[in-house]
Structures are given as C-alpha cells and as structure tokens.
Structure 1
Amino acid sequence: MEKRIKIGIIGSGGIAGAHVKAYKELDYVDIVAVADVVPGRAEQFIAKWELGFAAAYDDHRKLLELDLDGVSICTPNVAHYQTTIDALNAGKQVMLEKPMSVTLEQAVEMVQTAKKTGNMLNVGFQPRYDPNMALLKDLVQSGQLGDVYYVETGGGRRRGMPGGTFIREDLAGAGAIADIGCYSLDMAMNTLGNPKPVTVSAYTSNHFGTNRKYHPEADRFQVEDFGAALVRFDNGLVMNFKISWAMHMDTLGATMFLGTDAGLKVTPAGKGPWSGVWDGSVGSITMFHDIAGHHTESPIPTVEHKKNLFHEKVRDFVEAVRDGRPAPIPGEQIVRNQAVIDGILRSAKAKREVEVFIPEF
C-alpha cells in the first residue's frame, strides 16, 4: 500500500488555493491542517476547499506540532522567514512560495537551517517545469553560444499592479522586483547555471502606484512598481535587469543571451495587460549566428505541451518527500536570486553600486 503523505498549509491567501488544488489532484496526499494568523480564516479556507476534518489554527507553531510530512508556506512575504525556520526546526519538509524572503540575511539563515536540520527547503518556481525552459537551458549550457558575456532580462506590464498585501512594505517587503522580478531572475540565472552576483547598481520608482489616476489604493502604495539594475557576476558576466508593474510602453523587450559565437532572443508567452513577464512559458526562441560569413537567424521550435506547471512543481515536491530525494529547487540556488533582489533594494536606496556577499554553504 502506497504511503500517504500528510501536508499542512501555512497561510490561506490566494496562492494557498493553488497549492490545495494541486495537492488534491494527488490521490495519496492528505491535507490535514491549515494555519492563518487571522482568526477564522483557516476554518473558512477549509470549508471553501472541502478539506473535511482538517484542523484549523491561528498559530502556525501549533500546526507544526502535528505529525506532518511536509508543509506549504503561502504567507505574505515578510512571514516566509520565520515560518520556514520554525517548520525546518520542527522536522518538516518545506515547500516555500516565492520570493524566498525579504532580505539576503534571512535567505542565508533559512538555507543554513535546512542544512543543519537535514530537512528540505524547496522554493516554488513553477516555470522551471516548462519543457521550453529546459530547452533554453540546454541551448545555453551546450556551448553553442560560446562564452556568454551579457544577459538582458526582465519584463513589463503596461498595466498590472496588484493591491492589498502586495503593496504594503510591512507585508510584502518589496513590490514588482520581488513579485514578478524574481521569476525573470530565476529564468536567466538558472539557464546560466546560477552564477554568483558580486555587485549591483540599481534604480527603483513608484510613479504609477502612488498616483490615484492609475491605482485605486495609491494612498496605501508603499513599494516599487518599477526597477532596473546592472548586476555583475563572479564569472565576468553582466546582466541588465528591468521589471515593471505599469508603464507607458508595450514591452521592456525580449530576454537576450549574448555569446561570443551566437546569441539567443527569447520572448515570454501570453497576451494581455498582465502578461509580458517570466511567470509562465516561452513564446519564441531565435538564435542569431553566422554561417559562412552570413548573418543568420534560426528560429528554435518550441515544445508544445499541456502541462499544468503549478501541478508539476507540487507533484515534484511531494514525490521528493515520499522518495527521500533532495529538494527539486533547493534554497541554496534561490539564495542567489534573493541576493540580487536584496542588492537592488539596497542600491536603489543608497543611490550607488553595492557589493553582494553570499557565504559558502
């Protein structure tokens, strides 16, 4: 008889519903508890998602006292750090929603705690499960581009600013950079083999979010809606990064990988005002290279698929828990993503270039 996997959910906001839906598609998973700091919300969530006899708590530490195989952490960003530390120390395997944390120091401690306890810290970047993301990584890692020396990535929505907890600094920690920028960073950095950032020079602004003409919660808007940065890595690579929740432009351009032998131009999939960022699939891939002295453009056929990427990331986490495998997307990779975000916020505040230091694990 197949072992049943017992899961707890910490945080019952919107993204928690996506986790529950994916877990319920796995017939050997039981969601046995839900915790939310707002009294009554866990009970409402359990009723909404028909979770039967799941226990409800308003303190995640009570949930962690249960015999659980793993937890999904779906809290606002500022709570990622403490709930993850508590869950790892309680012996639970962790599926953590992005972004990893608010600061680099928090991310480092989270990874160190996972190492110390021997428990899994898996960070949820579902676009990695798109076959076209794997194709892109294979192309870059194959050496066909030669030495990659420059990358340009990011994304922009003409209009796509969220509200609520996303725009409060005390709950989100940051705005567009952490919300959708982390996807752009992971797409590029994972493709490149996760190089180590060493310096960041950045700029951020919130001209649209704080203007009532563009946002109904302008008076409560506390985070950035735009960011741009130049990031240097320890291997000499340079990244030009830009991200926007709102702008007077149709696009901030495609992602580009420039190499000494060839270059790749990559566009995201999706249409509409909330598209244009790397939280989904690949739209097109084109290689620019020379053949017999002629400038040549070669379209790379993308992979047609019907995968539900969110389901794939949850299933992979559950199977890793069941089989005793390492984290599919380990925290020690994503800490470099968080280091860039942390560097952008520090640099923008200081109005100068800042150094990035990540300890060895």
Structure 2
Amino acid sequence: MSKKLRIGIIGTGGIAKAHISAYKKLDYVEIVGVADVIPGKASAFAQKEGLTEAASFDSHTNLLHLDLDGVSICTPNVSHHVTTVDSLRSGKNVLLEKPMSVTLQEGIDMTQAAKESGKMLTLGFQPRYDPNMKLLQTIVQSGRLGNVYYVETGGGRRRGMPGGTFISKQLAGAGAMADIGCYSLDMALNTLGYPRPLTVSAFTSNHFGTNALYHPEASKFEVEDFGVAMVRFENDLVLQFKISWAMHMDTLGATMFLGTDAGLKVTPAGTGPWSGVWDGSVGSITLFHDEFGGHTATPVPLVEHKLNLFDQKVHDFAEAVRDGRPAPIPGEQILIQQAIIDGVLRSAAARREVSVELPR
C-alpha cells in the first residue's frame, strides 16, 4: 500500500514505549502524534523515543484533530473512558490497554460509541496471541471435554503489588481483580466462547496492601489485593475466580475445565514472586480422561514459538485497520468480564450474591 497508516499515542507511560516499539517494526505505519496531560511530557517522550517528526500535545483532544487512522490508548484506567469515547467519536480506531474501564457504565458507553461511530474498539490482551492459548481454545471448543460445567481460574502472586495509580480506587476502579484478574477471566471466557454471566457471589480483602510491612504506600492503598468469586452463567456453567497480588502461599492452583467426558488442567508459565497469573504464557496442559476403564492423564504437547506476544497484538490491530477487518478483541466481549468485575465488587461490598447487570 502506498499510504501509510497514521497512528497516535495517548499517554506516555511505560506501556506506551512497548506500543511504539511494536509499531516501529511495521513499515506501513507512521506515528504522527503523541499526547499526555502532563505539560511537556509528550514532547520529551517523543524526542526520547526518536519520534522527531511526530507532533506533541498536552491534550488528547488536540491530538484527535490530526488525520489519524487509529490510536493506542496507554493512559491510567481512570482516563480510558473519556479518551476512548472521544477517539471513536472523532472517527479513530482504538487499541485500548486493559482493563477496559473503571466502571461498568463506562464500558457500556465505550462499546456504544464504537457501534455508533462504525470504528473499531479492540482491547490489549496479548496472551491471546500465544499459540498455546489458541490450542487450549481449540481443545475445549472441539467438544473433547463434553459438556463443560465447572471452570476454575485465576492466579496468585506471592508478592506482586503495584503502587501509584494502581492502588487508588478513584483512578483504577479496582485492584488485583482488574489489573491481573482481567487476564484470568479473558483466558477462561475466551476459551469458552464468552458465555453470558448471571450472578456473582464474592469476597475481597486488602490485608497486605494496607499493611506497611508489605507495601510502602499502605496509607494510600484503597483497592483489593485479594478476591474470590463464584460466577453463575447461562447453560448451568459455574466459574470459580480467584486472584491475589500478595499472599502467604506459593500458588492458588491451576486453571481447570471440568467436562462430562474429560477435564483439562492448565498451569501458567513463569517463576518468581510476580508470576503465577495469566498475563503471560502457558506452562503445561494436561488432559484427564478415562480410557479402557482406567483413569488416564495425557500431557498435551505445547507449541514451541518465539513470538513477541505484545508485538503480535499491536500488529494485529494495525493489520485490522489496514485491511478493514473487525476488531481482533472486540469491546463487546471484554464488556462481559467488566460486568463480572463490577459484580464482584458489588457482591463483596454487600456481602451477598448479586445479579450481573449487562445489557442485551
């Protein structure tokens, strides 16, 4: 193609560097503008990243006046709603970093803006691009497990609590549930084909984040560092969802899919105190089934690859914009997990089961 895709970057934190690095590997893309609300930060960032031809702005609305094919939104959670809606309404396709939004209503607004504008809203869940995540989906949706009636997912870090905007309820909306729990939910729900949730019964706590022995910003810690929930879905499916930023334990267990014909056990890749969650790759997959009257466990060979998953998600967005394809990870899907997280927080606060509020 002769005309290059024109991309803008909104937000200049660490994650924006990864977006720029990925875009630079595509010869049909040019980054033409950068915006950040902190005066002068966008200009300094652009210079540091070698974007000498890119315009710099202290407001995303000014950036959106440029002729752009798409934007990467890399702002703190609290800004996801306004930057996404403004971008879509100005005719720009959007690649948005996770989590989707601070509130469920914000997520609803964002998907509605995408529908009304006819532009793409795709979410940045790079683990989906792992060939082994795709293998997991293939196994489950092939029917090999029979009727899947119970799923357990989530993960726990021995120690892995962030700070700053991540621990402010006003800025982040939620803590571990949104930060790393969104990966666990997407891993399970995408494998299942994103069924519709009905109710949530949940518990959350922040014993570690609010303790100065474990967190240097304990006095500012406002969100949950641990949560567990039982989610009921249509078609008599239940999911146990558990997540932790910090705990006195090595693991919260594997992800499992229980079916009437077979079961699947999946462990995440990675080691160390910040590992144990589904923000990366797959460590192992084991199929549990009966053969010839005996209990059998069959290791599923993993797909070896050297893909940079983060690059893959950025490139898929760019290619979808270029080729006029639908959103690779559509906002309508991620709105479902946003509704579950919203239900978790409401249920934990009310100390009872609540209905999931999701528009048809």
Task: Give TM class, smaller chain.
Answer: over 0.9
| 1:228-276 per-position Cα deviation (integer Å, ceiling 9, x unaligned) | 0000011210000000000000000000000000000000001111110
Aligned-partner SS, 1:261: coil
Give TM-score scaled by structure 1 length: 0.98
Following superposition, the deviation at residue 163 of structure 1 comes to: 1.0
Distance 1:201 1:321 in 2: 39
Distance 2:348 2:19 in 1: 34
Distance 2:224 2:357 in 1: 24
Distance 1:224 1:12 in 2: 26
Q: How many residues align?
A: 360
The aligned residue for residue 225 of structure 1 is: 225
Distance 1:89 1:347 in 2: 34
**Residues 1:39 and 2:39 aligned together:** yes
Give TM-score scaled by structure 2 length: 0.99
The aligned residue for residue 136 of structure 1 is: 136
Q: Which runs of 5+ in 2 are unaligned?
A: none
Q: Which runs of 4+ in 1 moved over 3 A?
A: none
| 1:257-314 per-position Cα deviation (integer Å, ceiling 9, x unaligned) | 0000000000000111111000011000000000011000000000000000000000
Distance 2:336 2:80 in 1: 17
Give 1:47's aligned amino acid: Q
Distance 1:4 1:233 in 2: 44
**Residues 1:309 and 2:306 aligned together:** no
Matches within 5 A, 1:180-195: 180-195=180-195
Following superposition, the deviation at residue 63 of structure 1 comes to: 0.5
The aligned residue for residue 94 of structure 2 is: 94
Following superposition, the deviation at residue 357 of structure 1 comes to: 2.5
The aligned residue for residue 108 of structure 1 is: 108
**Residues 1:174 and 2:181 aligned together:** no
Distance 1:133 1:277 in 2: 14
| 1:145-196 per-position Cα deviation (integer Å, ceiling 9, x unaligned) | 0000000000000000111111111211111100000000000000000001
Distance 2:235 2:80 in 1: 30
Distance 2:124 2:229 in 1: 24
Task: Give the aligned CA root-mean-square deviation in angstroms.
Answer: 0.8
| 1:6-48 per-position Cα deviation (integer Å, ceiling 9, x unaligned) | 1101111111111111111112211111111111111121122
Following superposition, the deviation at residue 2 of structure 1 comes to: 3.3
Matches within 5 A, 1:1-361: 1-360=1-360
Distance 1:312 1:114 in 2: 23
Q: Is the 8 A contact 1:10 1:36 kept in 2?
A: yes
Q: Which runs of 5+ in 1 are unaligned?
A: none
Aligned-partner SS, 1:230: strand
Aligned-partner SS, 1:115: helix
Instruction: Using the TM superposition, name which of 339-348 and 128-137 deviates more.
Output: 339-348
Give the share of equivalent positions with the same residue, in percent.
73
Q: Is the 8 A contact 1:102 1:342 kept in 2?
A: no
Distance 1:13 1:173 in 2: 19
Distance 1:101 1:141 in 2: 29
Distance 1:2 1:239 in 2: 48
Following superposition, the deviation at residue 346 of structure 1 comes to: 1.0
Give 2:110's aligned amino acid: M
| 1:63-112 per-position Cα deviation (integer Å, ceiling 9, x unaligned) | 01110000001111111111110000000000000001111111111111
Give 1:241's aligned amino acid: F
Distance 2:176 2:83 in 1: 23
